[in-house]
A and B are shown apart, each in its own frame.
Chain A
Amino acid sequence: MGKYIYMDNSATTQVKEEVLEEMLPYFREYYGNPSSVYSLASKSKIAVEKARDQVAKAIGADNKEIFFTGGGTESDNWLIKGLAYSNKEKGNHIITCKIEHHAVLHTCEYLEKQGFQVTYLDVDEDGLIDLDELRKAINDKTILISIMFANNEIGTIQPIKEIGALAKENGIYFHTDAVQAIGHIDIDVKDLNIDALSMSAHKFYGPKGVGALYLRRGLRIDPLISGGGQEKRRRGGTENVPGIVGMGKAIELAVDNMEESNKRLILLRDSLIEKIEKKISHIKLNGHRTQRLPGNVNFCFEFIEGESLLLSLDMVGIAASSGSACTSGSLDPSHVLMGIGLTHEIAHGSLRLSLGDFNTEDEIDYVVDNLATIVDRLRQMSPLYEDIKGE
């Protein structure tokens, strides 16, 4: 394939060269198990602890508050289940919102079956929760508020500091799934009153299969994965040393480059939004116009369906994603698009273009030109478009 434009950076990112370089020695040269006593193993141990420092520094935490996991989904599962079980004497009520990632939603649904009560807050048309609604949802049985930092589909950033303050005021733990935010938003967990935070390395140019959970000092939760004494006996299993090393390097790079990278991404994002809005009619921008992730663009195109849009884009070398039913593998379009109040009809025609450090302005123009042609071709085939043409 000739030209290939990757605009699905919210799904995953390409591992950066510098990150891979750091990881490689830990596959063949320093392959020791960090738990062993000989000197080869201590190389691995030191590398894991260095990465822990890098992750801690990136979010203003102490290195003792960082626990490595197998990714964002595990971090979410561990925190929510672990905190619920270890606090069930205090209460059985959890507050979250309707547009969370499935790692949070399905975990909460599982806990409901175990007797916990969960409030799923609504969001407004931009995807923001209402702080008054949150306040009203709190009761004397509430043990946890879990609200995502930024949404993976529509990019909307929640008022995290205010949520953190509200949780603190009421003596409730606050967890945030920050998988999409880390590396793009300056996060200081102490300043934002965050008690627990989930992250995943492959969203910021690190490797897949590794993540971390930040747990504020003193917050005890039951383990999800029982086993050996790794991660201070809180997460069993031999450490994914190369992955952890890669995560440490990737987060360091992401934080160091954040200002510059965001400046670029916001310019590209706004240029992409502006050009699409100028060139294509009958569309809707999803998510908050300004309070959104630097690389997130999400539109609905009326009268057409998302999967046919993705297939057509792929034919001209563009990788993107959609929240249509045909791509979600279920009957309904994405719960996020339904959550912001879109009708099925509109939600089926969604397209997410998520930009990253490797995208360029030239690519924006190529994508907009091709997108306009493709949308027009699909609309010419659509009976829904035929019906409105005469109006």
Chain B
Amino acid sequence: MYSEKVMDHFMNPRNVGEIENPDGVGEVGNVKCGDIMRMYLKIKDDTIEDVKFKTFGCGSAIASSSMATELIKGKTISQAMEITNKAVAEALDGLPPIKMHCSVLAEQAIKSALLDYSQKNNIQIEGLEDMDFDDDHHHDIIEE
């Protein structure tokens, strides 16, 4: 049911862990739905120097978190802002339709962590103004 890439990122997830004194932390999802992603960022000169995650959730939630961290590591903030849930899912060679919400959660985790960074540093990040991390809707199946 999962692609080999999903299984690889589930069994050998990249960038699992925490960052001490992170520059930004984001958490999305809720226990009621059975998935929570927490993402930590280390940012220097507008570049994501390091990223770590912790995820409670199914195989695709863990794989999506892992892939999302790979996609943004070493990137600038504006490059990271361009990562969509589709990009995460495509990088994993696709997710089953019922699991697409996991990639949505991964995109939101990145943005939530960046929002935290922007608030701590009192800066504006384009695209985050209207961010709504309403996790009650993330389970809606997104048809590709």
Residues of A bordering B, CB below 8 Å = 303-308, 311-312, 315, 324-326, 329, 331, 333, 344-345, 348, 380-384, 386
- Contact between A381 and B34 (Cβ–Cβ < 8 Å)? no
Contact A381 B16 (CB under 8 A): yes
* Contact across chains for A305 and B56 when beta carbons are under 8 A apart: yes
Give the Cβ gap from B101 to chain A, nearest Cβ, in Å. Answer: 10
* Nearest 9 Cβ contacts at the A-B interface: A307-B58, A326-B58, A383-B54, A348-B34, A345-B31, A383-B38, A382-B56, A344-B32, A311-B59
Contact B59 A307 (CB under 8 A): yes
Measured between beta carbons, the chain A residues less than 8 angstroms from B38 are 383, 386
A382–B38 Cα gap in the complex (Å)?
Answer: 9
- For this complex, 14 residue pairs linking A to B, each with C-beta atoms less than 8 Å apart, are A304-B56, A307-B59, A311-B10, A311-B59, A329-B98, A331-B33, A331-B139, A333-B34, A345-B31, A345-B32, A348-B31, A381-B55, A383-B37, A384-B36
Closest chain-B Cβ to A338's Cβ sits at a distance in Å of 11
Which residue of B is nearest A327, CB measured? B58
Q: Is the CB of B57 within 8 A of A308?
A: yes
Q: Number of B interface residues at 8 Å Cβ cutoff, please give it.
A: 26
Q: Which residues of A contact B10 (CB under 8 A)?
A: 308, 311
B18, B27, B35: which has the most chain A beta carbons within 10 Å? B35
B28 to chain A, nearest CB (A): 11
Question: Does the CB pair B58–A381 fall under 8 Å?
Answer: no
With a CB–CB cut-off of 8 A, which chain A residues contact B37? 383
Please indicate the chain A residues that have their CB under 8 angstroms from the CB of B33 in the complex. Answer: 325, 331, 344
B62 CB to nearest A CB, Å: 6
What is the bound-complex CA distance between A380 and B13, given in angstroms?
12
Q: Are B54 and A382 in contact (CB under 8 A)?
A: yes
> How does the 8 Å CB contact mask read for B28-70 relative to A, with 1 for contact and 0 for none?
0001111111100000000000000011111101100000000
Q: Is the CB of A308 within 8 A of B16?
A: no
Query: Which residues from B are CB-within-8-Å of A315?
Result: 7, 11
Are the CB atoms of A386 and B18 closer together than 8 Å? yes
Q: Which residue of B lies closest to A333 (CB)?
A: B34
Residues of A with C-beta under 8 A to B55: 381-383
Q: Which residue of chain A has its CB nearest to the CB of B11?
A: A315
Residue of B at shortest CB range from A382?
B56
Known A-B contacts A380-B16, A383-B54; A305 and B32 likewise in contact (beta carbons under 8 Å): no
From known contacts A308-B10, A329-B98, infer whether A324 and B58 are also in contact, taking CB-CB under 8 Å: yes
What is the bound-complex CA distance between A51 and B62, given in angstroms? 50
Residue of B nearest to A312 (CB): B11
Q: Inside 8 A of B7's CB, which chain A residues have their CB?
A: 311, 315
User: In the complex the two chains form, what is the Cα distance from A325 to B59 in whole Å?
Assistant: 13
Central interface residue in B2, B34, B35, by most chain A CB within 10 Å: B34
A384 to B62, Cβ gap below 8 A? Answer: no
Q: What is the CB-to-nearest-CB distance from A326 to chain B, in angstroms, rounded to a whole number?
A: 4
- List, in ascending order, chain B residues with CB within 8 A of A384's CB: 31, 36, 56
* Chain A residues closer than 8 Å to B59, beta-carbon distance: 307-308, 311
Cα separation A345 to B29 with both chains bound (whole Å):
12
